[in-house]
Amino acid sequence: MSRIVTIGAAQLGPIAPDESRASAVNRMIELLKQAGDRGCNFVVFPELALTTFFPRYYEEDISKMNHHYEREMPSAETRPLFEAAAERGIGFYLGYAELTPDGHRYNTAILVDETGKITGKYRKVHLPGHSEYDPNRPWQHLEKRYFEPGDLGFGVWRQHGGIIGMAICNDRRWPETYRVMSLKGAEVIVLGYNTPDVNTSAFEPNHLRMFHNHLTMQANAYMNSAFVVGVAKAGMEDGCMLIGGSCIIQPSGEIVSQVSSVDDELITYSADLDLAKMGKETVFNYAKHRRIEHYGTITTQTGVELPPELSEAAE
């Protein structure tokens, strides 16, 4: 029996530095309404969906950036989003900046079920960029200044009849992200991103920004036999162009739905979660084909030192 989940990828256009939370939430509620009209069960919003991408601005006193962070979720300003989703019976993924009661700062995402209950939390592990002002960049990328690496690991949660995992932006470029969740049974991996169309740390041809965005998600969808849903905040945001390219990828690695703009835009796809079984039970059947005990032999031949956890497994 097929397990069909209709997924919505809710891309947001740019959020200006002075745009209010209420405005951003209203934009997301409008996309939720569209999702409800199209029969969606689950909607994915971008990374840092409530604010502009504030790590592009340097502030010596980090506390002066506190207004960009959420101290509770839902808050008075974000509760209407939870209520609108619950009214329509739609679960969602939401990315935001988190400031904990004891003063820790994380780039965070939550998973919410169809009743409006938070069922999972993830904190971004692979923080890109730098921590101090760099005068050679046209704009900054200070995630290492404003966030700590996530401390929750790569979890998965049972929701909508399947197993869902979460990641955020730069996590999508690292194979460990997907493999850890896949080993835990993930059938759908959802992530939001805010990616500039220019690499300010080194020269990179512009066309590679979108190519690598899709390459990493498509390849890992295939190698881990999972749906991958990547959703952008896109467009010209306070002088910085953010790529769009939000898409839904099936376990074959094929893009089955993709946005056509860099504005607020909803795309949908009715995903049969049973499609994840084929790869997990055949080509990428870990129990049958993943030979950790032989990695030691391989690394001895190549001269590469085996990580401790694999050394133990190979003994």
Instruction: Give the pLDDT confidence of 205-255 residue by residue, as tens digits.
Output: 999 999 999 999 999 999 999 999 999 999 999 999 999 999 999 999 999
Of the chain, the percentage scoring pLDDT greater than 90 comes to: 90
pLDDT confidence bin for 294, thresholds 50/70/90: confident
* pLDDT surpasses 80 at 74: yes
Alpha-carbon distance values, 245 to 15, 71, 186, 242 (Å): 17, 30, 23, 10
| Domains, the chain, with CATH or none | 4-283 (3.60.110.10), 285-315 (no CATH)
Q: Would you state the pLDDT for residue 313? A: 45
Rounded CA gap, 45 and 33, in Å? 14
Instruction: Give the pLDDT confidence of 27-43 residue by residue, as tens digits.
Output: 999 999 999 999 999 99
Q: What is the mean pLDDT of the chain?
A: 94
Q: Locate tokens 């689950």: which residue?
A: 42
pLDDT confidence bin for 315, thresholds 50/70/90: very low
Looking at the annotation, which residues are catalytic? 47, 124, 169
In degrees, rounded to 5, the angle at the alpha carbon of residue 128 between the alpha carbons of residues 123 and 130 is: 120
| 3-state SS track over 112-128 | ECCCCCEEEEEECCCCC
Across 2-13, average pLDDT: 96
